[in-house]
């Protein structure tokens, strides 16, 4: 049986969120990174295997 869960990590380029998403990816889980902007940190997450979404939690339509 495969595990197809997808985890959404907010603040994925920060200290806590970054640690959480790296751990999930290292363990083979699917992870979506919610980031404020595309930059080298968000590109590194994409290269590590995360699905990166640029959004602002205050923008309900964007989320």
Instruction: Specify the CATH number for the domain of residue 36.
Output: 3.40.50.720
Tokens of 26: 């290292």
Q: Give the total number of structural domains in the chain.
A: 1
> Is 61 contained in some domain?
no
Provide φ and ψ at 41, rounded to 5°. -70, -45
In a domain, 30, yes or no: yes
- Structural domain including 44 reads 6-54
pTM (2 decimals)?
0.83
How far, in whole angstroms, is CA 32 from its chain's centroid?
4
pLDDT for res 1: 44
- Does the residue 62 lie in any domain? no
Separation CA 63–CA 60 (nearest Å): 5
Structure-derived torsion over alpha carbons of residues 50, 59, 57, 43, reported in degrees to the nearest 10: 30
pLDDT score recorded for residue 3? 76
The per-residue pLDDT for 16 is 95
pLDDT in tens, 11-62: 999 999 999 999 999 999 999 999 999 999 999 999 999 999 999 888 888 6
């Amino acid at each position: 049986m495969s595990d197809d869960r997808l985890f959404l990590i907010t603040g994925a380029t920060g200290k806590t969120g970054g640690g959480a998403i790296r751990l999930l990816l290292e363990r083979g889980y699917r992870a979506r990174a919610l980031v404020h902007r595309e930059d080298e940190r968000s590109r590194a997450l994409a290269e590590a295997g995360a699905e990166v979404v640029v959004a602002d939690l205050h923008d309900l339509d964007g989320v």
